[in-house]
Amino acid sequence: MISALASKVVTLFQHVGRFVRLLGEAFGSPIYDGPTYRQNLAREMKQVGVESLPIVAIAAAFTGGVTTEQTIYQMRYPLIPESTVGAIVVPSVILEFGALITAFILAGRVSARIAAELGSMRTNGQIDALSVMGISASGYLVWPRVLAGVITFPFLYIVASVVGGAAGFGVAATSGTVTPAEFLSGARSFFTGFMAVYGLVKAVVFGFLITAIACYVGFYTEGGAQGVGRSATRAAVTTCMFVLVADYLLALLML
């Protein structure tokens, strides 16, 4: 048992070492063709950010609406002010749900796509071909994907927070239990600028983790077509786990 545990620890450190080395090579590689790299970055920002907007907005709207409805259900007591609904829903969306729901969506949609793309390129020999041509494969393939995640995720988080809060306001206004003025009063009374800063920090960290882990898993794919499928699944699951760990650690450090 001890030898098996030691083997797993060694394997973990090997993965960490390869992960750090891959990112170091990606961001330390010279830019051979500036316009090409910028085009790759623009394409990845479109795929990671713009194409994810509809599903992020829909998920945020339902999350904000459900959170409001559940809060109203639990607050139907005469001694609790109705403004408490807004005081709970809006900070919850900004501090937690906006970033976390967006991260889970991107973990399933973006990380699996990135891992499958790079895995296919690895198994087809395209990554090796880039190296033969003198092009840094890690810089050409990993750099734009990770940077796109870091740049676009905060914007997706802002959209999710605004849509989630607006959906909560709409549900409260049509519920007949909480008036719009009471909902806004509660939201304003507990909102602070630090909440937005905290949410944006989480968004940057989550965006980095989702794209960087997916690139690592896909870049070192083995086993042909089946390996590509395993890499896509592994990337989605692994990014979800690391997002949850990072969410907890950021809460300990910043709250």
Helix axes 112-123, 193-219, angle to 10 degrees: 20
C-alpha closest to that of 188 among 98, 85, 97, 101: 85
Model confidence over 78-94: pLDDT tens digits? 667 878 888 999 999 99
**8: number of Cβ within 10 Å:** 10
Give the pLDDT of residue 1.
60
pLDDT at 149: 93
Q: Element (H or E) spanning 124, and its range?
A: none
Distance CA 93, CA 2 (A): 44
pLDDT higher than 80, residue 252: yes
Portion of the chain with pLDDT greater than 90, in percent: 49
pLDDT tops 90 at residue 17: no
- What is the token pair recorded at 24? 């170091």
Report whether pLDDT(208) > 90. yes
Q: Does pLDDT of 237 surpass 80?
A: yes
Q: How far apart are CA 101 and CA 107, in angstroms?
A: 10
Which pLDDT band, with edges at 50, 70 and 90, does 4 fall under? low
Average pLDDT score over the chain: 88
- What's the confidence (pLDDT) of residue 248? 95
Express each pLDDT in 103-149 by its tens digit.
Answer: 998 888 899 999 999 999 998 888 888 878 877 888 888 988 999 99
Q: Cα(1)–Cα(6) distance, rounded to whole angstroms?
A: 9
Tens digits of residue pLDDT in 64-82: 999 999 888 877 666 678 7
Secondary structure letter of residue 176 according to DSSP: S
| Paired tokens of 152 | 């676009």
Cβ–Cβ under 8 Å, residues 120 and 228: yes
Phi first, then psi: give them for residue 29, nearest 5 degrees: -75, 145
Between 123 and 11, the higher pLDDT residue = 123
Domain boundaries, the chain: 34-254
Tokens 């394997």 locate to: 11
Closest by CA position to 228, among listed 145, 110, 117: 117
